[in-house]
Amino acid sequence: MRVRNWGRTVAIQPTVYAEPTNEEEIVRWVQQAAKKKHTLRVIGAGHSWPPLADTKGILLRLDRMQGLISVSPTQHTATLWAGTRLYRALPLLWKEGFSLSNQGDIDRQSIAGAFSTGTHGTGKAFGILATQAVHYRFVDGEGRIHDVYADTQPALFRALQVSLGLLGVITQVTLRVEPRFYLRLTKKLYPLEEALQRSEEWLERYRHFEFFWFPYSEKAAVKLSEKSTEAGQVSFLRRWFIDALWENGAFWAVNKFAQFLPSASPALCRFAGRSMSEEVRVDKAYRIFASPRWVRFREMEYGVPAAAGPEVLREIRRWIEKHQPAVSFPIEYRYVRGDDIPLSPAYGEDRVFIAVHAYYRMPYAEFFRGIEEIFQAYGGRPHWGKMHTASAEYIAQQYPQLSTFLALQAQYDSHGVFRTPYLQALLWGERISAGA
Ligand X SMILES: Cc1cc2nc3c(=O)[nH]c(=O)nc-3n(C[C@H](O)[C@H](O)[C@H](O)COP(=O)(O)OP(=O)(O)OC[C@H]3O[C@@H](n4cnc5c(N)ncnc54)[C@H](O)[C@@H]3O)c2cc1C
Binding mask 356-395 for ligand X (x = CB under 6 A): ---------------------------x-x----------
Residue 370, Cβ density class (10 Å: 0-12 exposed, 13-18 middle, ≥19 buried): middle
Q: Does 328 bind ligand X (CB under 6 A)?
A: no
Residue 251 or 266 with smaller CB distance to ligand X = 251
Q: Does 106 bind ligand X (CB under 6 A)?
A: yes
Q: How far is the C-alpha of 104 from the C-alpha of 86, rounded, in Å?
A: 10
Q: Among the candidate windows 43-51, 205-213, 312-320, 370-378, which touches ligand X by CB under 6 A?
A: 43-51
Q: Does 113 bind ligand X (CB under 6 A)?
A: yes
Q: Does 408 bind ligand X (CB under 6 A)?
A: no
Q: Among the candidate windows 9-17, 38-46, 238-246, 266-274, which touches ligand X by CB under 6 A?
A: 38-46
Binding mask 193-232 for ligand X (x = CB under 6 A): ----------------------------------------
| Binder of ligand X out of 23, 25, 105, 218 (CB under 6 A) | 105
The distance of closest approach from Cβ of residue 93 to ligand X in the complex, given in angstroms and rounded to an integer, is 17
Q: How many CB atoms lie within 10 A of CB 433?
A: 6
Residue 54 or 372 with smaller CB distance to ligand X = 54
Q: Among the candidate windows 31-39, 115-123, 147-155, 240-248, which touches ligand X by CB under 6 A?
A: 115-123
Q: How far is the C-alpha of 258 from the C-alpha of 4, rounded, in Å?
A: 25
Is the separation of the CB atoms in 164 and 259 below 8 Å? no
CA-derived radius of gyration, the chain: 21
- Kindly give the pairing relationship between strand 40-43 and strand 58-61: parallel
Q: How far is the C-alpha of 407 from the C-alpha of 321, rounded, in Å?
A: 45
User: What is the H or E stretch that residue 196 is in?
Assistant: helix 192-197
Is the separation of the CB atoms in 139 and 46 below 8 Å? no
Q: How far is the C-alpha of 121 from the C-alpha of 134, rounded, in Å?
A: 18
| Binder of ligand X out of 12, 40, 45, 203 (CB under 6 A) | 45
Q: How far is the C-alpha of 114 from the C-alpha of 120, rounded, in Å?
A: 8
Residue 83 or 266 with smaller CB distance to ligand X = 83
Binders in 64-93 for ligand X, by CB under 6 A: 82
For residue 353, which of 337, 373, 330, 368 has the smallest C-alpha distance? Answer: 337
Q: Among the candidate windows 44-52, 368-376, 399-407, 427-435, which touches ligand X by CB under 6 A?
A: 44-52
Q: Does 284 bind ligand X (CB under 6 A)?
A: no
Q: Among the candidate windows 16-24, 71-79, 101-109, 227-235, which touches ligand X by CB under 6 A?
A: 101-109
Binding mask 289-318 for ligand X (x = CB under 6 A): ----x-------------------------
For the chain, counts of helices (H) and of strands (E): 15, 20
Residue 142, Cβ density class (10 Å: 0-12 exposed, 13-18 middle, ≥19 buried): middle
Query: Starting at the edge strand that comes first in sequence, how are the strands of the sheet with 351-359 ordered?
Result: 279-284, 182-191, 219-228, 208-213, 331-336, 351-359, 297-305, 381-382
| Binder of ligand X out of 99, 101, 110, 328 (CB under 6 A) | 110
Residue 187 or 270 with smaller CB distance to ligand X = 187
The distance of closest approach from Cβ of residue 123 to ligand X in the complex, given in angstroms and rounded to an integer, is 12
Q: Among the candidate windows 102-110, 185-193, 216-224, 250-258, which touches ligand X by CB under 6 A?
A: 102-110
Q: Does 30 bind ligand X (CB under 6 A)?
A: no
Contacts of 189 (CB under 8 A, 6+ apart): 219, 220, 221, 222, 273, 276, 278
Residue 40 or 316 with smaller CB distance to ligand X = 40
Q: Does 183 bind ligand X (CB under 6 A)?
A: no
Q: How far apart are the first and last CA of the chain?
A: 16
Residue 247, Cβ density class (10 Å: 0-12 exposed, 13-18 middle, ≥19 buried): middle
| Sites of contact with ligand X (CB under 6 A) | 6-7, 41-48, 52-53, 62, 82, 104-106, 109-110, 112-114, 116-117, 119-120, 164-165, 169-170, 293, 383, 385
